[in-house]
Copies of this chain bind each other. A is one copy, B any other.
Amino acid sequence: MTRLFNDPAAFADEALEGFAAAHRDRVRPVTGGVVRAGATPAGQVAVVIGGGSGHYPAFSGLVGRGLAHGAAVGNVFASPSAGRISSVARSAHGGAGVLLMYGNYAGDVLHFGQAAERLTADGIEALTFAVTDDISSAAPEESAKRRGIAGDLPVFKAAAAAAEQGLTLDEVLAVAERANARTRSFGIAFSGCTLPGADHPLFTVPEARMAVGLGIHGEPGIGEDALPTADEAARLLVTSLLGELPEGVERPDGQRVAVILNGLGSVKYEELFVVYRKVAELLGEAGVDIVEPEVGELVTSFDMAGVSLTLTWLDDDLERLWRAPADAPAYRKGSLDAPEAPRVGNAPAAEDTDDTVVPEASDDSRGAAATVLAVLNTVADTIDTHAEELGRIDAVAGDGDHGIGMQRGSTAARQAAAGAHAQGAGAGTVLARAADAWADEAGGTSGALWGTILRALGTALGDQDAPTATRVADGVAQASAGVRRLGGAEVGDKTMVDVLVPFADTLTAATATGTPLTEAWDRAATAAETAAAATADLLPRKGRARPHAEKSLGTPDAGAHSLALIARAVHGVLLDHH
Judge if A561 is at the interface, Cβ distance under 8 Å: no
Nearest 8 Cβ contacts at the A-B interface: A38-B340, A78-B443, A30-B349, A18-B277, A18-B273, A217-B399, A106-B545, A137-B547
Pick from B6, B111, B305, B351: contact of A3, CB under 8 Å: B305
**CA A90 – CA B350 in complex, angstroms?**
6
Which of A350-408 touch B at CB < 8 Å? Answer: 350-352, 391, 395, 397-401, 404-405, 407-408
**Are A38 and B230 touching (Cβ within 8 A)?**
no
Q: Give the segment of A81-89, A241-249, A510-518 that binds chain B.
A: A81-89
Q: Name the B residues within 8 Å of A52 (CB-CB).
A: 443-444
**CA A74 – CA B447 in complex, angstroms?**
11
**CA A137 – CA B399 in complex, angstroms?**
13
**Are B138 and A395 touching (Cβ within 8 A)?**
no
**CA A196 – CA B4 in complex, angstroms?**
26
Judge if A569 is at the interface, Cβ distance under 8 Å: no
**CA A404 – CA B12 in complex, angstroms?**
13
**Are A142 and B542 touching (Cβ within 8 A)?**
yes
User: Contact residue range for chain A?
Assistant: 35 or more
Judge if A174 is at the interface, Cβ distance under 8 Å: no
Q: Name the B residues within 8 Å of A190 (CB-CB).
A: 3
Judge if A544 is at the interface, Cβ distance under 8 Å: yes
**CA A451 – CA B81 in complex, angstroms?**
10
Closest-CB distance, A454 to chain B (whole angstroms): 13
**Are A447 and B107 touching (Cβ within 8 A)?**
yes
**Are A105 and B544 touching (Cβ within 8 A)?**
yes
Q: A3-B190, A107-B444, A195-B401 are in contact. List 16 more A-B contacts (CB 8 A).
A: A3-B267, A3-B271, A4-B307, A5-B274, A11-B270, A15-B273, A31-B349, A31-B351, A74-B443, A79-B444, A91-B346, A105-B545, A114-B448, A145-B543, A217-B400, A337-B337
**CA A281 – CA B554 in complex, angstroms?**
45
Judge if A104 is at the interface, Cβ distance under 8 Å: yes
Q: Give the segment of A152-160, A327-335, A464-472, A570-578 that binds chain B.
A: A327-335
**Are A405 and B93 touching (Cβ within 8 A)?**
no
Judge if A121 is at the interface, Cβ distance under 8 Å: no
Q: Please judge, given known A-B contacts A75-B443, A82-B439, whether A271 and B4 are in contact too, CB under 8 Å.
A: yes
Q: Give the segment of A178-186, A218-226, A312-320 that binds chain B.
A: A218-226
Judge if A509 is at the interface, Cβ distance under 8 Å: no
Q: Please judge, given known A-B contacts A105-B544, A110-B487, A271-B4, whether A447 and B81 are in contact too, CB under 8 Å.
A: yes
Can you name 5 A-B pairs with beta carbons within 8 Å?
A19-B273, A38-B339, A65-B336, A81-B448, A105-B544
Pick from B54, B203, B294: contact of A395, CB under 8 Å: B203
Q: Give the segment of A295-303, A418-426, A499-507, A527-535 that binds chain B.
A: A295-303
**Are B6 and A229 touching (Cβ within 8 A)?**
yes
Q: Name the B residues within 8 Å of A449 (CB-CB).
A: 110
Judge if A441 is at the interface, Cβ distance under 8 Å: yes
Q: Please judge, given known A-B contacts A351-B31, A448-B111, whether A54 and B270 are in contact too, CB under 8 Å.
A: yes
Which of A237-256 touch B at CB < 8 Å? Answer: none
Q: Name the B residues within 8 Å of A61 (CB-CB).
A: 269
Q: Please judge, given known A-B contacts A87-B350, A436-B83, whether A6 and B78 are in contact too, CB under 8 Å.
A: no
How does the 8 Å CB contact mask read for A442-480 relative to B, with 1 for contact and 0 for none? 111111110100000000000000000000000000000
Closest-CB distance, A251 to chain B (whole angstroms): 23
Q: Please judge, given known A-B contacts A268-B265, A271-B5, A443-B111, whether A41 and B347 are in contact too, CB under 8 Å.
A: no
Residue of B nearest to A94 (CB): B346
**Are B83 and A439 touching (Cβ within 8 A)?**
yes
Pick from B2, B86, B105, B545: contact of A268, CB under 8 Å: B2
**Are A233 and B107 touching (Cβ within 8 A)?**
no
Which of A199-241 touch B at CB < 8 Å? Answer: 202-203, 215, 217-222, 227-231, 233
Judge if A282 is at the interface, Cβ distance under 8 Å: no
Q: Name the B residues within 8 Å of A492 (CB-CB).
A: none
**CA A14 – CA B230 in complex, angstroms?**
10
Q: Name the B residues within 8 Å of A547 (CB-CB).
A: 134, 136-138, 145-147, 215, 219, 222
Q: Name the B residues within 8 Å of A491 (CB-CB).
A: none
**Are B222 and A443 touching (Cβ within 8 A)?**
no
Residue of B nearest to A280 (CB): B21
Judge if A440 is at the interface, Cβ distance under 8 Å: yes
**Are A303 and B77 touching (Cβ within 8 A)?**
no
**Are A75 and B336 touching (Cβ within 8 A)?**
no
